[in-house]
Amino acid sequence: MKILLSIVSLFLSVNAISQQDLEKNLGDFGEIKVYDMINVELVKSDENRAIISGDNKSDVELVNKNGTLKIKMRLGESFVGNKTTVRLYYKKIDIIDVNEGAYVSSDDIFQQDKIELRAQEGGVIKLQLEVTDVQVKAVTGGDIEVSGKVERQDISINTGGIFQGKSLESETTYVAIRAAGEAHINASRLADIKIRAGGDVYIYGNPETVNENKMFGGRIKRMD
């Protein structure tokens, strides 16, 4: 009986440990790159650290090199991070790069001068912004959804990328689409749009000036 109780106690202890979240302290970084379908929740903080939870949490690698933090699954466990969440506490982030079906979001409002957002290979970014300048790149099925206010936004879309910025109010917006893609933009003063080989742009905000430049197909539609 004592042996049985010991085995049960050991099993419960191991099970409890396996269910605990993993915490890692990180050095300074200004750019993040996320891969392998991992879900990342960004939390503004006065320190850089990560709390990892969910399935396969022990297989998550966080590599910080020269100010760039890569969040990915270890070799042999690629593309299995969809049930894994990394809560990333950060001091400041200037570049967010999301790949391979990963998902990055935040309940915080990013208040800073500039930010650069990149999504490719089905990666998704969903953020609230209050910035002066935002640079956006969405390619190969990448999807970027943003809301808030900016002064200027530069948007580059290629091969099926999607930009959902209807709720991101800007003064000036520059959009370039190549080889199909979709952009929903909001501008009050200027919307400058170039489309090459297909793509759709939907304009909100009733801008004073709209410059249109299309070649080999494409559609530009005012929504207001």
- Which own/partner pairs from 11-16 qualify as long-range (CB within 8 Å, at least 24 positions apart)? none
The answer to whether the CB of 135 falls within 8 A of the CB of 114 is: yes
The answer to whether the CB of 105 falls within 8 A of the CB of 42 is: yes
The answer to whether the CB of 141 falls within 8 A of the CB of 166 is: no
* Cα–Cα nearest to 187, from 206, 211, 213: 206
The single residue listed with the structure tokens 């080889």 is: 179
Structure tokens at 20: 């605990």
What is the per-residue pLDDT for 75?
Answer: 78
Q: Where are the alpha helices (DSSP H) in the chain?
A: 2-19
Per-residue pLDDT for the chain (224 aa), expressed as one digit of tens each? 555 444 444 444 434 334 689 999 999 999 999 999 999 999 999 999 999 999 899 999 999 999 999 999 997 677 777 789 999 999 999 999 999 999 999 999 999 999 999 999 999 999 999 999 999 999 999 999 999 999 999 999 999 999 999 999 999 999 999 999 999 999 999 999 999 999 999 999 999 999 999 998 899 999 97
Positions of CATH 2.160.20.120 in the chain:
107-224
Fold adopted by 107-224: Pectate Lyase C-like (2.160.20)
pTM summary value: 0.89
What is the per-residue pLDDT for 17?
Answer: 39
What is the per-residue pLDDT for 19?
Answer: 61
What is the per-residue pLDDT for 3?
Answer: 59
Query: What does DSSP say about strands 49-54 and 84-90: parallel, antiparallel, or unpaired?
Result: antiparallel
List the beta bridge partners of residue 200: 182, 219
Integer Cα distance of 131 and 178 in angstroms: 26
Integer Cα distance of 94 and 112 in angstroms: 9
